Chain A
Amino acid sequence: MLSLDKLKSTGKKATRDGFGAGLKAAGDKHDNVVMLTADLRGSMKSEDFINTYPDRFIQVGISEANMMGIASGLATGGKIPVTTTFANFSTGRVYDQIRQSIAYSDKNVKICASHAGLTLGEDGATHQILEDIGMMRMLPGMTVINPCDYNQTAAAVQAIVEHHGPVYLRFGRPGWPVFIPEDTKFEIGKALPLSEGTDVTIFATGHLVWKAVEAARQLEEEGISVDLINIHTIKPLDEEAVIASAKKTGAVVTCEEHNKYGGLGSAIAECLSKHAPTPQEYVATDDTFGESGTADQLLAKYGLDTPDVVAAVKRVLKRK
């Protein structure tokens, strides 16, 4: 069982680097893993895989729709295609191609998306998708995963390759604290408890898990006991874990680098409104596009920083 004192940052590494490491390991184990990219191989940090398995690497050029179709065909022929590009071009750009040729057709395609959310920084709103979890979550049969650090991303890649069915794996650009112990088991669809508490539950996904850890430390110091749960798999949601914690604490905060509509907060609210109605506060973007800036500036400006998590907890405790 993890706890706050075990969650120490061992330095910063990008989750996309974790993707690259995980892909190489998955490729070593499974010779039907094939990587595709749309003119962004450098950004995907997968040179290890590409150099070791050049025959299992496909460069499609800047043609994401084509990439999704080719992936569907490769899957039809028994391969495990891993598509790679930025999160916006992995989802919004190609939604119908994914919907028809992959999701509706039950294809075993792994859609791996870097540069999700605000933290890609200076490129700005055209690239900062904050709606992708929602879009992908609405597709029947799609598994949606947003790992929180390098280690978890690497482990997630292995797990999705061994899971049969379409998956959306979302990760990011910047260096980020590595704090999930390397030997932590990654199970698709299983919530990962990070700290046990009784006053409030924080459900967090992706980069914001680290912010939630920092917030939980502050709150514990103030005598507020936090049940901190990492929801790396947003779909299928670990409803049992969500309901149990909400019933125990009676107050919920959700944290994600995504719009407040459609993402983790929505998934939790949908579950709890049916099974255990609980006051909930959202740490998420407030139905807005992003903008250029550094990752830290943007997280602060758009209300996704540690103080925002602390404030959300205090708000929800008043509603208990």
Chain B
Amino acid sequence: MADIQELKKIASQVRRDIIREVYLSQSGHPGGALGNTDLLVALYFEVMKHDPSFNMEAQGEDVFFLSNGHISPVFYSVLARSGYFPKEELKTFREIDSRLQGHPTTHEGLPGVRVASGSLGQGVSVAIGMALSKKMNGDDRTVFVLTGDGEQQEGQIWEAALFAPHNKVDNLVLIIDDNGQQIDGPTQEVLELGSFADKYKAFGWDIMRMNGNDMEETVKVLKEAAAKRNGKPTCIVMDTEMGMGVDFMVGTHHWHGKAPDKEQAHTALDQLEETLGDFAAEGI
């Protein structure tokens, strides 16, 4: 049984890491990163079987792909906190000569990253390929992939959506971060996405829903999705609040891609308990 309190403590630390990474580099995307923190903590600290000594092919391991690469600060924090690389490296986020690029990449050899992302809409196809390779290898572990809701406006997403059920890729779990926000405003105003559940159902996927900011529910739903093998891929429509955990960042696209100033960063950190020890950095 998952220790939900323990996971929440980790999430609090990860949120601190996000604020500090973005503050130090004065660039990056805090909003989506904060909203997806509970999901990534649940995956890496409870749901997925994975090995931080990092093997690209991940035989016998569950695998996570981040298609919405702009939320890299949460990905890096969770990877560091689960042992893929030293947490002190988080202070180099977005700096020159760093392995922690603005958007995740394999190019600098950062352990835990299996494909570059940042140009939106490409990750579901990659996840399908990985899931197929697992089937070919007789490996029954699960492949997870996260996309934004705005990201779902990309055409390639729907090519993938058509492919996965047709090819019975049932070891695939697609999670859509349905936070209702994208760069230019609420998704409803930019380009209405309608019901993901109805759309994916019509394409032949199994649909699940969860509140991605409720740790207990998130763990439960993810475990159920991972265990399922019925010939259909799974789509989890996940409600989150952009900016979750920092009151002045919640629920708005204004913090999609903006760094807090010093005062704002401290206001944010005051709301987030330091539970595992911050990474050392000067100036914050």
Point out residues on A near B: beta carbons under 8 Å.
Answer: 37, 39-43, 59-63, 65-66, 88-89, 93, 121-127, 289, 291-294, 297-298, 301
The answer to whether A292 touches B191, judged by C-beta atoms less than 8 angstroms apart, is no
Report the nearest B residue to A120, measured CB to CB: B102
Bound-state CA distance A65–B119 (Å) is 13
Q: Give chain B's interface secondary structure class.
A: loop
The answer to whether B94 touches A292, judged by C-beta atoms less than 8 angstroms apart, is yes
Bound-state CA distance A43–B101 (Å) is 21
Bound-state CA distance A289–B108 (Å) is 11
Q: Which residues of B contact A301 (CB under 8 A)?
A: 96
Query: For window 93-140 of chain B, which residues contact chain A by CB distance below 8 Å?
Result: 94-98, 100-103, 105, 107-108, 116-121
Q: Which residues of B contact A122 (CB under 8 A)?
A: 25, 27-28, 94, 102
The answer to whether A291 touches B101, judged by C-beta atoms less than 8 angstroms apart, is yes
The answer to whether B96 touches A293, judged by C-beta atoms less than 8 angstroms apart, is yes
The answer to whether A124 touches B190, judged by C-beta atoms less than 8 angstroms apart, is no
Q: Which residues of A contact B121 (CB under 8 A)?
A: 62
Instruction: Choose the segment among B55-63, B149-157, B237-245 that binds chain A (4+ C-beta atoms closer than 8 Å).
Output: B149-157
The answer to whether A39 touches B25, judged by C-beta atoms less than 8 angstroms apart, is no
* B184 CB within 8 Å of chain A: yes
The answer to whether B119 touches A123, judged by C-beta atoms less than 8 angstroms apart, is no
Give chain A nearest CB distance to B75 CB in angstroms: 14
Report the nearest B residue to A41, measured CB to CB: B184
Q: List 13 A-B contacts (CB under 8 A).
A: A37-B184, A39-B183, A39-B191, A41-B184, A60-B191, A62-B121, A63-B153, A122-B102, A124-B103, A127-B102, A292-B101, A293-B94, A293-B96
Point out residues on B near A: beta carbons under 8 Å.
Answer: 25, 27-28, 69, 94-98, 100-103, 105, 107-108, 116-121, 150-151, 153-155, 182-184, 190-191
Q: Which residues of B contact A60 (CB under 8 A)?
A: 191
Given A39-B184, A293-B95; 8 other pairs, CB 8 A cutoff: A39-B153, A59-B190, A61-B153, A63-B155, A89-B119, A125-B105, A126-B69, A293-B96
Q: Which residues of A contact B28 (CB under 8 A)?
A: 122
Q: Which residues of A contact B184 (CB under 8 A)?
A: 37, 39-42, 59
Give chain A nearest CB distance to B183 CB in angstroms: 5
Bound-state CA distance A26–B27 (Å) is 33
Bound-state CA distance A230–B122 (Å) is 38
Give chain A nearest CB distance to B157 CB in angstroms: 10
Q: Which residues of A contact B107 (CB under 8 A)?
A: 125, 289, 291
Ranked nearest first, the 4 interchain pairs of A and B with the lowest CB-CB distance are A61-B191, A126-B118, A293-B96, A124-B102
Q: Which residues of A contact B118 (CB under 8 A)?
A: 123-124, 126-127
Report the nearest B residue to A300, measured CB to CB: B96
The answer to whether A298 touches B182, judged by C-beta atoms less than 8 angstroms apart, is no
